[in-house]
Every structure is written in C-alpha cells, then in structure tokens.
Amino acid sequence: MTARPPWTDRPLFLLHASVALTRDRSLLLVQEGKPQSSGRWNLPGGHVEYGEPLLGAAERELREETSLSCPLQGLLGVYQAQRSVRFVFRAVATAADQPEPGDQILAVRWIGMDELAQIPDNQLVSPSTLRAILRDLAHDRLFPTNVIAALS
C-alpha cells in the first residue's frame, strides 16, 4: 500500500479487498447503498484499512456486507483501475449460508454467472472489472493465499 501523506487519512492509491463467493453456478452480489454507487451491484468488499492485512480485510468486508463468514480458498486475481487495486479472493458457500444485507448494503442476491454477464453496465459497479472477474471464475483461476501472506 502507498504510504499516506500527512494531510489525509486516505492513501493516494486505494486498496480494495473483495470476495467472489460462489454457490453452484451462482455468484453473490451486493446492491450498494453508498451515494456514489447507490443501487448498483458489486462483489462484497471494500477499502483495506491502513495497516490491515488483505485477507483480514476480505473476511471483514464479507462479514460486514453479507453477515457471512466463509473460508477463503485462495486469490482469484488482482485487478487495477486508475487509482485503485482490487484483490479478489474466492470462497464457496453452502446451502446453509444465508446472506443478509449489512453495512451500507440495500440487498444481497445470488445470481447465475450467465445471467450476470447480461446485466447492463449501468447497473454494476466497475463493470469492466466485474466482467474480468467473471472470466477468471469461468477459468477456475485460483492462487494460494500464501502468495498474499508472503507480502506481509
């Protein structure tokens, strides 16, 4: 993570941790309630707090936004935008895992991956990144989490 300048509490380059939580051929999405992305769908996730481990941030965001605690299986991928980097971890839910909307989340929804590919861009947060994540899920991409732990 880029060091914070002394005049701000945000780094110049933001780190995000998200979880691609799957069940069968479905992916769990959250409907954002934050003003800048209100009503649009996204993976559960958010900003990594200053000094927070990436794995811990992904687990925390999943719990805060969906009320679920599912073990992370590995790193799906790292996705870069203009001012941010998003680390996406993969997890698998069971039929017993029932998500509920949490912090700044309007709704949660299991959506088939084929159906997700048809959702218009204006209904998604970072649509090009989300579509790249879908492609990586379709190819069963997965890196061990110790790749991230080695960075700590």
* Three-state secondary structure call for residue 138: helix
How confident is the model at residue 151, as a pLDDT? 54
How confident is the model at residue 103, as a pLDDT? 84
The residue type found at 28 is L
Residue 44 to residue 31: CA distance in whole angstroms: 9
- Per-residue pLDDT tens, the chain, 152 aa: give them: 455 556 566 557 789 999 999 999 999 999 999 998 999 999 999 999 988 999 999 999 999 999 999 999 999 999 998 888 999 999 999 989 999 999 899 999 999 999 998 999 999 999 999 999 999 999 999 999 887 765 55
17-149 maps to CATH 3.40.50.300: no
Domain parsing of the chain, residue ranges? 17-149
How confident is the model at residue 11, as a pLDDT? 59
- Sign of CA pseudo-dihedral 55, 79, 23, 142: negative
Yes or no: say if 131 and 41 are a contact pair by the CB < 8 Å rule: no
| Residue 74: CB atoms within 10 Å | 15
| Residue 37: CB atoms within 10 Å | 15
Backbone torsions φ then ψ of 79, nearest 5 degrees: -125, 130
Report if pTM > 0.85.
Answer: yes
Helix (H) or strand (E) segment spanning residue 79: strand 72-80
Report the chain's C-alpha Rg in angstroms: 15
